[in-house]
Structures are given as C-alpha cells and as structure tokens.
Structure 1
Amino acid sequence: FFELYNSEKMYSLPSLHAIYGTTAAANAPASACTECESCMAICTQKLDIPTLLKDVVNTFE
C-alpha cells in the first residue's frame, strides 16, 4: 500500500484509488491493521508502520 500512497501524494491520480480498492479487496485493506506492531520488529527501515497505515486509510478509505 505504501507505493500507492507515495504515488498518490506525488501525482494525485484518481486511478490510484481504484487500484487501492482492487488490491484491498483481493487481500486486506489497510484498515485491517490491528496495531500489533509485529511488522515493526522486522522492518529494516524501522518505520512506524501502524501509524503510516492510518495515513493510507485516511487517503484511500
């Protein structure tokens, strides 16, 4: 989802919302994050993924 989010912030293309919808329907939407933080332990960039996913939700959902 972060690639779509970054592209949305740079280009604001309406098609990105459709791509997000298709991707979220096939998998799970960003709003499915339970904030368990298990992803943070393996993130090599040490990003606060749950917080960043909230930005994705606010942008696409």
Structure 2
Amino acid sequence: MQHAIIRGEVCFRAGDGVTMPIPPGPVDIEVADDSVTIGWTAGDDALSTAITRDEYDRYVKEGHIKLS
C-alpha cells in the first residue's frame, strides 16, 4: 500500500450513477495490474473506490495525485 495526496480533481463513478470527486487530502493507494484502489476518510467514514490504471496514471502525470 502506498500513501498519496489528492491535489486536484480526481473523480470516480459511484456505481452506475454520477461522477463524484475524491476530496483533496491524504489517501491510501493499492495498485493492481489493471486498476487502482483509493481509500480516504470523510469525517468518521472510511471510503474507497477503484479506478482504472489508465485513469490513475493520467491523474499522477497531471499532478492531481501526488505520491508520497
């Protein structure tokens, strides 16, 4: 597991619904071959989502996800 900081707009699709932003701040990241799981806290809630590896690579390249 890696630690990172969300520093820009990073979004995920909630089920079949609307695209939602991951709030700026610290996150945990777990990288697999074809997807990346991102975990964060909002108040007392622990939340997580998976995005494609291509999306993750783009967010890192654009500086929206800063690895620490």
Q: Would you say same fold, with TM above 0.5?
A: no
More helix by share: 1
Query: With structure 2 as the length reference, what TM-score do the two structures score?
Result: 0.29
With structure 1 as the length reference, what TM-score do the two structures score? 0.31
